[in-house]
């Protein structure tokens, strides 16, 4: 049997995972289907990731909370989830109880690619920042995937010229090409294909 504090932390953690999942989706995507009830319009901020499934709030309330309470969180989610949840949200219920770490150049590069700040992207690459950098909390998304997702053609060009690996996959197994196709951005699709990206 787990405590209310643990349960709260798990909910927050699952919500945090769901947010990362949304962040890895094409920008155009605004809804998803609940894997438990097939409700078709889970929107950002009302879904939870349970294992590898995305559940709507209702299913999460009705099933997951009850199940976690009765069976113990470990059975459904694995010990790792409880441990991660407690680490992140266990004491204050806020992520901020962890001392914020300074933003690394890798994270700066990801943010610049996401925002289409091509000058900063260039400067960071010139300073030797890993063009394929991934940072915790960004769903395994490389700068190239972020630029592709946000339709920043100039950043995509700069990253490719700097030798970005066009075949890397994010935590959901999606490549930059898949993301660009999801956005319907033919210009970026073409750039990626010319750089060697292929359907996998
Ligand atoms: Zn549902």
Residue 200 falls within a domain, yes or no?
no
125 contact partners, CB below 8 Å, separation of at least 6: 109, 131, 158, 159, 162
Centroid of ligand 1 to alpha carbon of 42 (angstroms)? 8
Centroid of ligand 1 to alpha carbon of 56 (angstroms)? 4
| Same domain, yes or no: 31 and 83 | yes
Among 54-68, 82-96, 112-126, 157-171, the least confident range = 82-96
Full domain range(s) for residue 31: 4-97
Centroid of ligand 1 to alpha carbon of 101 (angstroms)? 36
Centroid of ligand 1 to alpha carbon of 39 (angstroms)? 5
Centroid of ligand 1 to alpha carbon of 180 (angstroms)? 29
Centroid of ligand 1 to alpha carbon of 45 (angstroms)? 14
Residue 199 falls within a domain, yes or no?
no
Is the CB of residue 177 less than 8 Å from the CB of residue 193?
A: yes
Does the structure show a pLDDT above 80 at 103? Answer: no
Q: State the CATH number of the domain containing residue 147.
A: 1.25.40.20
| Same domain, yes or no: 8 and 93 | yes
Centroid of ligand 1 to alpha carbon of 15 (angstroms)? 15
Centroid of ligand 1 to alpha carbon of 168 (angstroms)? 32
pLDDT interval class at 102 (50, 70, 90): low
DSSP reduced 3-state for 39:
coil
Residue 78: its pLDDT value, please?
63
Query: Residue range 10-17: average pLDDT?
Result: 86
pLDDT interval class at 195 (50, 70, 90): very high
Higher pLDDT, 8 or 137: 8
Q: Which of 97, 128, 148 is the last residue of a domain?
A: 97
Residue 62: its pLDDT value, please?
76
Q: At what angle do helices 186-194 and 153-161 cross, to 10 degrees?
A: 10
């Amino acid at each position: 049997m787990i405590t209310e504090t643990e349960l709260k932390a798990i909910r927050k953690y699952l919500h945090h995972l769901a947010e990362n999942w949304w962040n890895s989706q094409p920008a155009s995507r605004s809804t998803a289907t609940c894997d438990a009830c097939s409700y078709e319009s889970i929107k950002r901020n009302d879904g939870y990731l349970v294992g590898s499934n995305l559940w709507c709030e209702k299913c999460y309330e009705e099933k997951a909370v009850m199940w976690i309470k009765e069976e113990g969180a470990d059975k459904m989610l694995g010990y790792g989830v409880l441990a991660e949840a407690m680490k992140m949200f266990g004491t204050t219920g806020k992520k901020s109880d962890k001392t914020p770490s300074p933003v690394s150049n890798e994270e700066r590069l990801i943010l610049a690619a996401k925002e289409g700040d091509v000058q900063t992207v260039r400067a960071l690459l010139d300073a030797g920042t890993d063009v394929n950098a991934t940072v915790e909390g960004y769903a395994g998304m490389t700068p190239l995937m972020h630029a592709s997702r946000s339709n920043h053609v100039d950043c995509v060009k700069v990253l490719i010229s700097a030798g970005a690996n066009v075949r890397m996959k994010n935590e959901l197994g999606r490549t930059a090409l898949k993301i660009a196709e999801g956005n319907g951005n033919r210009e970026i699709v073409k750039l990626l294909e010319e750089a060697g990206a292929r359907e996998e």
